[in-house]
Amino acid sequence: MITQFDIQADERKESITISNEEKMIPLSSPYTIRTEEVPDPLAGVTISGVSPALKQGETNAELFVQGSYTGVTEAQYLVVIESDGAVGSATFYWSDDNGETIKGSNILTDTSPIPLNNGIAISFEEGEDLNAGDSWKFIASGFSYVSSLPAAPYEFYVDYLTGDITFYPDQAGWQIKINYEGKGTLVDADDINQITYAINALEALRSQTINLDILSAILPDSDAPDRLIEMADTFYYAYLLFNPDKNESVFFQLIAPSRIEEAISLNIIWITKATTGKSIFSASIKVIRQGEIIGNQTESNFISEPTEANPTANSINLSSITISSLNIKDGDLLFIKLTRNGQDGQDTITDDIKVLAIYLKFLQSPKD
């Protein structure tokens, strides 16, 4: 699976000023937009916006709102047609407090922007007749930055790592203008799939497995599992038979591979006739370096999490033991002791366990 992520690409030494970047707040959750560049948190972000214009009346004409609102508080604009006619001959009046105060009247309609106040202008759709009494309402306001997700109208929150800006739901559909200092752009994951594929492919190449051959296992004279060979259908297989009433151990020795990274996992594949209960395995490891005397090394002990037996008899089970903090170097000699903790009260499988395979899994560091 390819991991999806964003990469910030900032090749400039200094931020640049971004003025009146236009966006529309989404109509549905999470009401988040992304700026074209990542804003500089030291400079902050300022935003103003205008709501969609709501029409009342019989006309099919549309009112267009332009400009950047320079006011701070909310303004409730009302535009009302005073006299009938086509665009260019019909007149209108307007207010910025929902009609309580008339700011201008007997103004000719036009398809070109007509300035109102605080940076707001309007224009009318060409080719449609206007009727006296037709009206449009829209709201303009500045927005306030908050340091967490917005909890009230006209609030916004900025993620300064990505440039994502989240708004309060009441402003869904608003056209906004954003001003900030841009640090650089983000490259979406869709644009870097080849890079992510290469990264994941490299991780796959680094994953290494070493099989600890059951036929080469060292079995002491006592307290060791039996090594047996059985026939299943038309083929033979070898296994180590661990008793449920003892702590039986098997030993392996090997040379550490080059550039091994921690953590390492020791994995045990096993079957049992039992259909209930949990198994417990433990591992003891000694690391012997060149020039050292065998026997003077500290033994490191690790234990698996209890593994539930498969409810179907003789089905494959996997137990894993995480091994860490050994500081293994290239060419170290590793002694590994694997034990089924049959006498441990947490091992509740009351039947023999057949271990079919044992292997080490680890990551290998890239070559310099």
Burial class (CB in 10 A: 0-12, 13-18, 19+), 303: middle
pLDDT tens readout for residues 9-27: 455 567 889 999 999 999 9
Residue 80 lies in a domain: yes
Domain that holds residue 159: 7-187
Contact 108, 88 (CB under 8 A): yes
What CATH number has the domain bearing residue 358?
2.60.120.260
pLDDT at position 232, please? 84
Residues 181 and 219 in one domain: no
Asked if residue 293 lies in contact with residue 325, where contact means CB atoms within 8 angstroms, the answer is no
Residue 164 included in any domain: yes
* pLDDT for the residue 3: 45
Question: What DSSP state is assigned to residue 366?
Answer: P
Burial class (CB within 10 angstroms; exposed 0-12, middle 13-18, buried 19+) of 91:
middle
Residues 180 and 268 both lie in one domain = no
Would you say residue 325 lies in a domain? yes
**DSSP E strands: which ranges in 125-234?**
129-130, 135-142, 144-145, 155-159, 164-167, 175-182, 185-187, 207-211, 226-232
The answer to whether the CB of 176 falls within 8 A of the CB of 143 is: yes
Regarding whether 177 and 216 lie in a shared domain, the answer is no
Which domain-ending residue is among 120, 155, 187? 187
- The answer on 119 and 21 residing in a single domain is yes
pLDDT for the residue numbered 159: 92
307 occurs within a structural domain:
yes
Specify if 172 maps to a domain.
Answer: yes
Are residues 157 and 11 part of one domain? yes
The count of structural domains within the chain is: 2
pLDDT at 4: 47
Whether residues 216 and 158 share a domain: the answer is no
Q: For position 203, what pLDDT does the model report?
A: 62
Q: What is the DSSP letter of 171?
A: G
**Full-model pTM:** 0.50
Q: Which residues of the chain have pLDDT under 70?
A: 1-13, 186-205, 262, 367-368
d(CA 223, CA 246): 7
Query: Does residue 135 sit in the same domain as residue 238?
Result: no
